[in-house]
Amino acid sequence: MNDTTTREIVTLQSHILAQQAKNPQSTGTLSWILSALSISAKVIADHVRRARLADVLGKAGAENVQGEEQQKLDVISNDVLMRVLGGREGVAIVASEENEEPVIIRSDTEGEQRYCVLFDPLDGSSNLDVCGSVGTIFSILRYDRRAASPEESLLQPGDVQVAAGYILYGPSTVFCLSMGEGVDMFVLDISVGAFLRVEQGLRIPTASKNYSVNEGNRLGFPEGYQRYLDWAQQNGYSSRYAGAMVADVHRTLLKGGVFMYPPTVKAPNGKLRLMYEANPMAMLIEQAGGKALAGRADDGSEQRILALQPKDIHERCPVVLGSPDEVDHVTRHL
């Protein structure tokens, strides 16, 4: 039986400290920030579990900066992350998908290493009303003292992320993390109140005949994506779509396949946010041996998500990520 009585017990905290010990130059600041994300995840997971009982389902009666109606738990989750991260000394800037402007926590950073934390507080929140899976996505960047303004310090390509991950609130609360040396997975054991490591060095399957996309938008997809879907359906592929990026990418990471959010007639630049969703997920997928693309560039070359230079913190981009063979099948049709 594979439980806490028979396997090595490694908590998220001890895993982070072990990674920190590998770097003699480490100050422990990043460890404190990841600890804050762990605490936030436990608080949000509790709110999600009790959402119906606590009457915090449904719309909050306001829109976020994207013009999308906020759910009550969007607001609660955003507030939890803001408050917990704001109390960490090493955080210079916090940016949320729900807020129009980043929040500058500390701009006086002379002589100290500080970080910028970006997050989508509750991805897929419309699933809550039907007890579907939702999640938190986060990205951590080094604060750039050379930037002309604190806000400009955020506009860094995904290749330079220090860490990235997501928390999936489903039948279990799962914390997937990459600090640039592979992907590790932890599950919250509520009996001991800690995230325990269940997988180390996750590798995505090279191929798997599954695709994940909102086919309700199919008629608005560019022709290349429609050609791919015709090909996939003619070759025995299965469709899997949960309506929450965290849930869909988590399944893709473990089982293989491809997750897509193409451009559409209504959203020609795609719908997903580069810095809050695409970059952190692309880092995890690449660290696990997969591919993560924003389609093809004008010259026909593959366009890695992590190589994109952001121009705005709420910029959007198309997303095609997953098993390397499956991503190749998509891009050859584009």
- Locate the domains of the chain by residue range: 12-199, 210-331
Per-residue confidence band for 7, with pLDDT thresholds at 50, 70 and 90: low
- Cβ neighbors of 302 (< 8 A, separation 6 or more) are 293, 296, 331
Give the right CATH number for 210-331 from 3.90.1310.10, 3.40.50.300, 3.40.190.80, 3.30.300.30.
Answer: 3.40.190.80
Q: What percent of the chain has pLDDT over 70?
A: 92
pLDDT of residue 1 exceeding 50, the answer is no
What confidence tens digit (pLDDT) does each residue in 286-312 have? 999 999 999 888 888 899 999 999 999
Per-residue confidence band for 330, with pLDDT thresholds at 50, 70 and 90: very high
Give the pLDDT score at 219: 95
The mean predicted confidence, pLDDT, of the chain is 90
Sign of CA pseudo-dihedral 281, 285, 286, 288: positive
Give the predicted TM-score (pTM) of the model. Answer: 0.93
Fold of 12-199: Fructose-1,6-Bisphosphatase; Chain A, domain 1 (3.30.540)
Greater model confidence, 156 or 65: 156
Q: What backbone phi and psi angles, to 5 degrees, belong to 90?
A: -80, 0
Q: What backbone phi and psi angles, to 5 degrees, belong to 129?
A: -60, -25
